[in-house]
Amino acid sequence: MLFKQQALLRQKLFVLGSLAVGSLLYLVARVGSLDRLQPLCPIDGRFGPRGQDEIPLRALQFKRGLLHEFRKGNATKEQIRLHNLVQQLPKAIIIGVRKGGTRALLEMLNLHPAVVKASQEIHFFDNDENYAKGIEWYRKKMPFSYPHQITIEKSPAYFITEEVPERIYKMNSSIKLLIIVREPTTRAISDYTQVLEGKERKNKTYYKFEKLAIDPNTCEVNTKYKAVRTSIYTKHLERWLKYFPIEQFHIVDGDRLITEPLPELQLVEKFLNLPPRISQYNLYFNATRGFYCLRFNIVFNKCLAGSKGRIHPEVDTSVITKLRKFFHPFNQKFYQITGRTFNWP
């Protein structure tokens, strides 16, 4: 009897000891993982002078959760007020270009704890009906944020719409403007591909790219075709420069953002006067999708929609050559104005 009691006691002690060791190992692993994650979004640095504009990481994580609940309608306006959250006008806008990588750039910048993105394209400045609703309508379309965070929206139609530069200038003459560009011919084909896919979804037929891009009467590049006009970057930029100095623009290499995103994002951080927070940990290559996806933390990852990275149709090489020759002088002028050179043919 005594022997059985001693055996049972030893068994209980063994189980308790195993649990204690297991708990200790878990805590050690947990602390180690937290240490490894610390470079992700350390907020111990300062956005401004020492002690100003500091947001604890825990508060930012709570804020993300709170805003998620608010968007679902589960958080009250009183909760928003108590946590000092506001809807503020953007301090930076991604103005274009269409099919240059504007969505990817916006989502990647949202990795930064001091950046809050507007989820949808607002089309305030390029849409007369929306613009007539006034600046307060625009403000209410912005996400909630802390007062010292940067709200960013993107509407790529802004870049090519004639009235937009003056309208944005009237709102904020010192706003920072981001333009993301790709090799002009590739961008034009990507533009065509998106429209083609939309037509196919509706079981509609559509012209081949070659027939749209080349004028059949002159056999020259058809500058009336919108996909071609959009790729003449310097023509649109010159219109913006009537209102804003070149120092308020930052040009992002959309081709490089696909293959090597981190250096491009670090340049944007610097342009926006943000402390460097986006690291290689936040970006991982998804071989299945064929481009980089985003890692916010150990739990939450995000890839862009499946519509991104469409396969382009084959285009006659003589048309590609003609387009590249056409864009070349415009590209050279674009390099000269912006001070940034690209390896475009």
Q: What is the C-alpha separation between 150 and 269, in angstroms, rounded?
A: 11
The 10s digit of each residue's pLDDT in 98-117 is 999 999 999 999 999 999 99
The 10s digit of each residue's pLDDT in 185-207 is 999 999 999 999 999 888 888 99
**pLDDT higher for 36 or 141?**
141
Asked if residue 23 belongs to a known ligand binding site, the reply is: no
pLDDT higher than threshold 60 for residue 91:
yes
Proportion of the chain above pLDDT 90, given as a percent: 64
Asked if residue 309 belongs to a known ligand binding site, the reply is: yes
Asked if residue 158 belongs to a known ligand binding site, the reply is: no
User: pLDDT band at residue 308, thresholds of 50, 70 and 90?
Assistant: low
pLDDT higher than threshold 80 for residue 324:
yes
**pLDDT higher for 15 or 119?**
119
Q: Of the ranges 2-6, 70-74, 89-93, which is most confident? A: 89-93
**pLDDT higher for 70 or 220?**
220
Asked if residue 10 belongs to a known ligand binding site, the reply is: no
Task: Please indicate whether residue 99 is annotated as part of the active site.
Answer: yes
**pLDDT averaged over every residue in the chain:** 83
Q: Of the ranges 71-75, 256-260, 295-299, which is most confident? A: 256-260
135-142, Cβ contacts within 8 angstroms, sequence gap of 24 or more: 135/89, 135/171, 138/89, 139/87, 139/88, 139/89, 140/87, 142/87, 142/88, 142/89, 142/90, 142/118
Asked if residue 102 belongs to a known ligand binding site, the reply is: yes
pLDDT higher than threshold 50 for residue 42:
no
Fold of 63-183+231-310: Rossmann fold (3.40.50)
* 268 neighbors 114 (Cβ within 8 angstroms): no
Domain positions in the chain: 63-183+231-310
Asked if residue 190 belongs to a known ligand binding site, the reply is: yes
Rounded to two decimals, the pTM is 0.79
> Minimal CA–CA distance to 91: which of 153, 6, 137, 22?
153
**pLDDT higher for 62 or 309?**
309
Asked if residue 199 belongs to a known ligand binding site, the reply is: no
Asked if residue 101 belongs to a known ligand binding site, the reply is: yes
pLDDT at 305: 73
Tell me which of 12, 72, 77, 99 is the catalytic residue.
Answer: 99
Q: Look at the block and give the residue holding tokens 């001091």.
A: 114
Proportion of the chain above pLDDT 70, given as a percent: 77
Asked if residue 278 belongs to a known ligand binding site, the reply is: no
What are the phi and psi torsion angles at 284 (to 5°)?
A: -135, 145
pLDDT at 156: 97
pLDDT at 158: 98
pLDDT at 79: 72
